[in-house]
């Protein structure tokens, strides 16, 4: 199956490439003390302790999430292919999708029967389905 590409401006294409470069150098943000205790998972939580060295951004501590790590505004939240993602729950939702710029992601709560209907209708309309697992 040939993967369809979205219609992007030159600026959007450049910003997507820039975002990919930024993602390569962006650190993995981990929760404070997650390396020390098994019970503390790695998932990010902001350090709020009064004496927290991580909150104070001391040298040798993991980096904090901050606005400087954000991607370019024009392509923020886009799929790596460049499509804007639209969440779909039933086949009628596909009528609102622009196949040139948007791709659909079928909601996790959708069952097998309706999922097959959505995929069939998306194929007939020329819409890309990002999670077409069957």
Q: Is the pLDDT of residue 59 over 60?
A: yes
At 3 the pLDDT is 67
Please report, for the chain, the start and end positions of each structural domain, with discontinuous segments joined by +: 9-73, 84-125
Q: How far apart are CA 3 and CA 114, in angstroms?
A: 23
Q: Is the pLDDT of residue 124 over 80?
A: yes
Q: Is the pLDDT of residue 114 over 60?
A: yes
At 85 the pLDDT is 94
pLDDT tens string 5-19: 888 889 999 999 999
Q: Is the pLDDT of residue 104 over 80?
A: yes
């Amino acid at each position: 199956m040939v993967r369809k590409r979205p219609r992007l401006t030159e600026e959007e294409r450049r910003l997507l490439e820039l975002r990919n470069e930024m993602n390569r150098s962006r650190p993995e943000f981990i929760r404070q003390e997650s390396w020390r205790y098994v019970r503390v998972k790695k998932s990010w939580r902001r350090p709020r302790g009064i004496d927290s060295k991580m909150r104070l951004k001391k040298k040798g501590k993991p980096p904090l999430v901050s606005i400087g790590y954000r991607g370019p505004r024009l392509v923020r939240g886009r799929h790596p292919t460049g499509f804007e993602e639209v969440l779909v729950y039933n086949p009628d939702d596909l009528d609102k999708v622009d196949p040139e710029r948007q791709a659909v992601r079928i909601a996790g709560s959708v069952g097998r029967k309706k999922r097959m209907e959505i995929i069939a209708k998306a194929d007939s309309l020329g819409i890309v389905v990002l999670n077409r697992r069957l």
